[in-house]
Amino acid sequence: MAVTIALAGNPNAGKTTLFNQLTGSNQYVGNWPGVTVEKKEGKLKGHKDIVIADLPGIYSLSPYTLEEVVARNYLINNRPNAILNIVDGTNLERNLYLSTQLKELGVPVIMAINMMDVVTKNGDVLNLEALGKAMGCKVISISALRNQGIDELISVAVAEANSGAVPAIEHRFSENVEKALSEIQSKISGEVPEALARFFAIKLFERDDKIRNELPEKAKNVDVESIISGIEKEEDDDAESIITNERYKYIQSIISSAYEKRGKTGLTTSDKIDSIVTNRFIALPLFALIMFAVYYISISTVGTKMTDWVNDVLFGSDPWSFFGLVDLPSIPGAVTSLLESMNVNEALQGLVIDGIVAGLGAVLGFLPQMLTFFLFLAFLEGCGYMARVAFIMDRVFRKFGLSGKSFIPMLIGTGCGVPGVMGSRTVENERDRRMTIMTTTFIPCSAKLPVIGLLAGALFNNSAWVGWSAYFLGVCAIVFSGIVLKKTKMFAGQPAPFVMELPAYHLPRPIDILKSMAERGMSFVKKAGTVILLATILVWFLSRFNFQMQYLPEDDMDTSILAAFGNAFTWLFAPLGWGKWKAVVAALTGLIAKENVVGTFGTLFHYQGAEELAESGDQIWAQVREYFGNGIAGYSFLAFNLLCAPCFAAIGAIKREMNNGRWTMFAIGWECFLAYCVSLVIYQIGGLIAGVVSFNFFTIVAIALILIGIWGLFRPYKEADTLSEKEERAVERAMA
C-alpha cells in the first residue's frame, strides 16, 4: 500500500525546492479537483510506493484563501500518513503559527527547519532538541537549496509515516479556553474521527463556518454559541482573536527557550538592499531600469544575435558552414531538395515550404530571444526580487483601486496568460478578482514576445525601448482600467488588503533557473508544433486558393479566399494605420494564439521576392518594413495586438474564472475596445506629430478619446458609488 507524505509550509519557505529534491523528474502536475490551484505530486526518488504531495503555500489552516481551503481539505479528507512541515528558520515565529495547527490534525508531523545555514551564518543559535520537545515532534535541520540534511529528513519521515501512531498534542491553551474546548469536543464526540476531534472543536470555537459545513449533520447542528459567548465575555475579546493570541503566547514560550539571537541586531543584507529596492522614490524607476535591461539584452544584444542566426542561417536560403568543416543546407533548402527529388507537385511543395516551414520558422526564429528573456525572469523570481515588485506595485495599485495581490497573476502572466488568469483566485474580493481577470492579459506574455521581436527588428532596428515600452504599455492599461472601472458601480469599493512575506535575497541554483527557462520554452515549442502548425497550414491554404478552389501563383494572393476575408475588415482598421488585408488577417489569427501573428506574416510574405530577400539577409523583415511603411503604423499594430483579447486558451480561462458568460463578454469587449482606442490614438496623434498623417475626422476622434480618458482618470471618486448588498445582487442578476 502506498504511503503519502504531504509537504506543508508558508510561501517562500523552500517547499518547492525540497519537493524537487525529493522527487526529481518523478513528479506530475495538474489542478486540484474542481479548482484551479496547482496540484503537485511525485514519487520519492528510489521509493515507488511513497508519494510526496506538495500542498499550496499557506500561512494557516483558516479559510481566508482558496489555497488554504484546498490544503486544509486535503489534510482532513485525504489523511496523509505524515506531514513534512517546512519551516523557514530565519522567520521562526511566523512559520510556527501553521505548525501549531498542523499538530492538531492527529497526523505525525516532522518539522524540517530550512535555511539553517543562514541562521548559523547570522550567528544565531536554534536548539532543535528543545524545539522538538516543546512541539512534540521530530525536528531536522536542512538546507533544501544545498541539499543538506535531506537524507536524514526522509529517513525520519518514512519511519513516522509507517508507524501509524497518533501523535500527542503538547500544546494546551489557557484553562478556561481548554474547558470550553472540552465541552465542545464532548458535543461532537462520536460524530467525527477521534484524531480530529480537538481540531474540529477549535474550529467550531472560532466560528469557522466552512468547517461546520464539512461536519456530519448531527455535529453540524450542535449549539456551541453559549460556550463561546461565555469565554468571549471573560476574555473581553472575540473567539478567533482569543485562539490567535493563545497560539502566539505558546510560540513565544518556545522561541524564548529554544532560540537565541546572538547575531547582529542591526539591518541584515536583505534589509540593506530593500532600503534601496523598495524605497518609495527609487523603487519604480529602478524596476523600470531593470526591465529595460532585460529587454535590451533579450531583444537588442544577446538574444538578437542568436535570433539572427536562426532566421538568416538556419531558416535562410543559402547553405551555411559548420565551423568551416562542412557546408550544410538551410532547413528550407534541405526540404526543397528533398521534395524536388521526390517529384512532389507544386501545391504540396508550397504547403510544406511556404506554409509549414516558413510559418513555423518565422515563429521559432524568435525562440532564442524568448529563452534569454525567460532566463532573466527566472533569476529575478528566484533571487526574491519579484516578490518585492509585488510589494512595490501594491503601493501603486491601491491608489488605482487594485490590491498588490492583483500583480501576482500579472507576474505569472508574463509566461502565459492562462495561469495568470487562474492566479486571480488568490484575490478574495470578488470585484477585485474580476478586474484582475480583465486586466491580467494586458501584460505581454511569452506568446507576444515574437510579435515584439518582429516589429522591433523590422521597424525599429532592434531597439530595446520597443520591448520595454510594450511591457509598460500593459502596466499603463492596467492602471487606466483600474482607475476608470473602479469609479463605476460594478467595481466600486475598497481594494482587499495585501499581506506578503518577503524572502531573504539569495542566489538561486543554476539548475532551477535553467529548468524554469526550459519549461517555459518547451511550452512555447509544443504550441508551435500544434496550434500554430495548424494555423499556418490554414493560412497557407486560404491564401493560395480562391473561391473556385483554383491554386494561385505566388504573386496572386490578392484574389485568394483569405484576401477576401481580410478585405472585408480593412475599413475597420484603416484609421489605425494598417488597413491592409494581410495585417488584418494576422491580427485575427492572433486570437487563436498570439504567435500566429508572426506565423501568418511568415507564410504570407515568405515567397514574395524570396531571392532578393535572401541576398539582403533580412528575410521577411524587409517586407514587413515596406508593408507598414512607417514606425507609427507598426507600433499601432503592435499596441493593438498587445492589448486586445488574448488567445482562445486564455479566453477559455477567463470564462472558467468568471463563471458567467456576460462577464466574460464584458471582459473581452473592454480589452478590444481599449486596444482599438489606444491604437487609434497612437497612429492619429503620433502620425500627425511625425508628419505621416494629415488632420482628418479620425484625428478629431483620437483627441476626443484622449479628453474622455483624462476625464475618466480625474473625475471624483464618490464613495456613494460603492454598491450596497442589495445593489450588488441586482448587478449579479443583470449579468447572469
Query: Would you tell me the crossing angle of helices 581-589 and 631-643 to the nearest 10 degrees?
Result: 20
Task: Identify the H or E element spanning 6.
Answer: strand 3-9
Q: Is 704 annotated as a binding residue?
A: no
Q: Is 57 annotated as a binding residue?
A: yes
**Coil, strand or helix at 310:** helix
Cα–Cα dist 29/251, whole Å: 35
Q: Is 570 annotated as a binding residue?
A: no
Q: Is 217 annotated as a binding residue?
A: no
Q: Is 418 annotated as a binding residue?
A: no
Q: Is 13 annotated as a binding residue?
A: yes
Cα–Cα dist 225/230, whole Å: 9
Could you give the strand order of the β-sheet that contains 138-141, starting from the edge strand earlier in sequence? 27-31, 38-43, 50-54, 3-9, 82-88, 109-114, 138-141
Cα–Cα distances in Å, from 539 out to 102, 603, 626, 729? 56, 7, 21, 46
Q: Is 14 annotated as a binding residue?
A: yes
Q: Is 20 annotated as a binding residue?
A: yes
Q: Is 10 annotated as a binding residue?
A: yes
Q: Is 457 annotated as a binding residue?
A: no
Cα–Cα dist 529/515, whole Å: 21
Q: Is 24 annotated as a binding residue?
A: yes
Tell me which residue of 245, 247, 242, 222 sits closest to 232, measured CA to CA. 242
Q: Is 95 annotated as a binding residue?
A: no
Q: Is 34 annotated as a binding residue?
A: yes
Tell me which residue of 660, 716, 455, 678 sits closest to 576, measured CA to CA. 678
The residues near 434 (Cβ < 8 Å, ≥ 6 apart) are 491, 658, 663, 667
Q: Is 12 annotated as a binding residue?
A: yes
Cα–Cα dist 189/348, whole Å: 75
The answer to whether 654 and 437 are in contact (CB under 8 A) is yes
Cα–Cα dist 115/118, whole Å: 5
Cα–Cα dist 391/338, whole Å: 56
DSSP state of 192: B
The residues near 52 (Cβ < 8 Å, ≥ 6 apart) are 4, 5, 7, 19, 22, 23, 41, 42, 43, 44
Other Cβ atoms within 10 Å of 624 Cβ, number: 24
Q: Is 88 annotated as a binding residue?
A: no
Beta bridge partners of residue 5, listed in sequence order:
52, 82
Q: Is 73 annotated as a binding residue?
A: no
Q: Is 413 annotated as a binding residue?
A: no
Task: Identify the H or E element spanning 260.
Answer: strand 259-260
Instruction: Find the length of the chain.
Output: 736
Other Cβ atoms within 10 Å of 11 Cβ, number: 16
Tell me which residue of 59, 60, 62, 39 sits closest to 51, measured CA to CA. 39
Bind-site residues: 9-16, 20, 23-24, 34-38, 54-57, 114-117
Bind-site residues for GTP: 9-16, 34-38, 54-57, 114-117
Bind-site residues for Mg(2+): 20, 23-24
